[in-house]
């Protein structure tokens, strides 16, 4: 079984987010990590590969600065990697690039994270599936495969849904699917020599563009209420905030 796992390179969850002249994200001093949901997807792909046999390839659309995290994915256990050498500014563009690379190899299962924690679109997986004409299960919390049939559980409003889907398909992984692995020494050593292919992008079809950034308005200072007078809180929620 051939797995392709899409990994994006995102600021660490504790990063301070600032912008340069409201025009661009200011990456200086920011530590980048593999998007946490993508690590979950990667781990589940590795577990399934170990059980069923096959290969796990990771792909990233990004500049050369993302290579340390691609190597990390190889250290965690992926067999090989592809980097499409382009700035990932638009989900449609990213999905198009991954689709082009995927067409060159027939993958059985393509996994992404539920969403990237930078642009929070949650859209690369469905777009990719549409471009490849494949079914897609989004926000999946469980994935099991027997033969060419997968059983998947996904989150829905107010519960979960169990689905079946045949390979090939696309899936976006939510927490719960696997516990992310930490690379060990052997993995780190072997990652250095695993193949990392760099591809140039196919076309430049971008449909959207972030033209302005700002930080959310600072919160007003908290209004403290005497713990012996909680009626005051109820009053404020009713009269001032008007929510009860």
Ligand X SMILES: Nc1ncnc2c1ncn2[C@@H]1O[C@H](COP(=O)(O)O)[C@@H](O)[C@H]1O
Ligand Y SMILES: Cc1cc2nc3c(=O)[nH]c(=O)nc-3n(C[C@H](O)[C@H](O)[C@H](O)COP(=O)(O)OP(=O)(O)OC[C@H]3O[C@@H](n4cnc5c(N)ncnc54)[C@H](O)[C@@H]3O)c2cc1C
Binding site residues, ligand Y, CB under 6 A: 13, 36
Q: Which is nearer to other proteins, 50 or 179 (CB)?
A: 179
Q: Which is nearer to ligand X, 1 or 41 (CB)?
A: 41
Task: Return the range that interacts with ligand X (CB under 6 A); candidates 31-39, 130-138, 180-188, 223-231.
Answer: 31-39
Given its phi and psi angles, is residue 139 left (phi above 0), alpha (psi -120 to 50 degrees) or beta?
left
Element (H, E) at 56: strand 55-61
Is residue 91 a contact point for ligand X (CB under 6 A)? yes
Interface pick for ligand X out of 18, 20, 105, 120 (rule CB under 6 A): 120
Angstrom distance (rounded) from CA 68 to CA 38: 15
Binding partner of residue 61 among ligand Y, other proteins, ligand X, none, CB cut-off 5 to 8 Å per kind:
ligand X
CB of residue 173 to ligand X, shortest distance in Å: 8
Given its phi and psi angles, is residue 227 left (phi above 0), alpha (psi -120 to 50 degrees) or beta?
alpha
Angstrom distance (rounded) from CA 198 to CA 183: 23
> Could you please report the per-residue DSSP string of 6-24?
E--EEE-TTPPP-EETTTE
CB of residue 233 to ligand Y, shortest distance in Å: 15
Interface pick for ligand X out of 34, 70, 94, 171 (rule CB under 6 A): 94
Is residue 178 a contact point for other proteins (CB under 8 A)? no
Is residue 126 a contact point for ligand X (CB under 6 A)? no
Q: Which is nearer to ligand X, 127 or 237 (CB)?
A: 127
**Residue 17: other Cβ atoms inside 10 A:** 12
> Could you please report the per-residue DSSP string of 129-159?
HHHHT--EEEEEEEEEEETTEEEEEEEETTE
Interface pick for other proteins out of 31, 105, 148, 151 (rule CB under 8 A): 151
CB of residue 103 to ligand Y, shortest distance in Å: 34
φ/ψ of 126, rounded to 5, equals -60, -35
**Dihedral angle, C-alpha 238, 242, 243, 244, nearest 10 °:** 30
Q: Which of 117, 123, 120 is nearest to 172 (CA)?
A: 123
Total binding residues toward ligand X, as defined by CB under 6 A: 24
CB of residue 197 to other proteins, shortest distance in Å: 25
- When computed from its CA atoms, the radius of gyration of the chain, rounded to whole angstroms, is 21
Is residue 43 a contact point for ligand X (CB under 6 A)? no
Is residue 115 a contact point for ligand X (CB under 6 A)? yes
Q: Which is nearer to ligand X, 24 or 230 (CB)?
A: 24
Q: Which residues contact ligand X by CB under 6 A?
A: 6-8, 35, 37-38, 59-62, 88, 91, 94, 112-113, 115-116, 119-125
């Amino acid at each position: 079984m051939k797995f392709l796992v899409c990994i994006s390179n995102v600021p660490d969850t504790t990063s301070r987010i600032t912008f340069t002249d409201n025009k661009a994200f200011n990456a200086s001093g920011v530590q980048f990590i593999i998007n946490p949901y993508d690590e979950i997807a990667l781990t589940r792909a590795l577990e399934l590969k170990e059980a069923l046999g096959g290969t796990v390839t990771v792909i990233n659309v990004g500049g050369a600065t993302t290579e340390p995290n691609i190597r990390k994915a190889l250290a965690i256990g992926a067999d090989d990697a592809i980097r499409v050498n382009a700035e990932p500014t638009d989900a449609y563009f990213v999905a198009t690039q991954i689709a082009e690379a995927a067409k060159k190899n027939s993958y059985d299962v393509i996994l992404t994270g539920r969403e990237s924690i930078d642009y929070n679109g949650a859209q690369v997986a469905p777009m990719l599936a549409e471009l490849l004409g494949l079914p897609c299960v989004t926000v999946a919390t469980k994935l099991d495969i027997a033969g060419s049939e997968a059983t998947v559980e996904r989150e829905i409003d107010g519960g979960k849904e169990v689905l079946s889907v045949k390979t090939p398909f696309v899936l976006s992984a939510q927490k719960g699917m696997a516990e992310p692995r930490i690379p060990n020494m052997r993995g780190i050593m072997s990652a250095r020599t695993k193949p990392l292919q760099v591809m140039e992008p196919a076309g430049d079809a971008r449909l959207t563009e972030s033209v302005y950034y700002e930080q959310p308005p600072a919160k007003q200072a908290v209004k403290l209420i005497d713990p012996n007078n909680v009626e005051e809180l109820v009053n404020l929620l009713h009269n001032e905030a008007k929510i009860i």
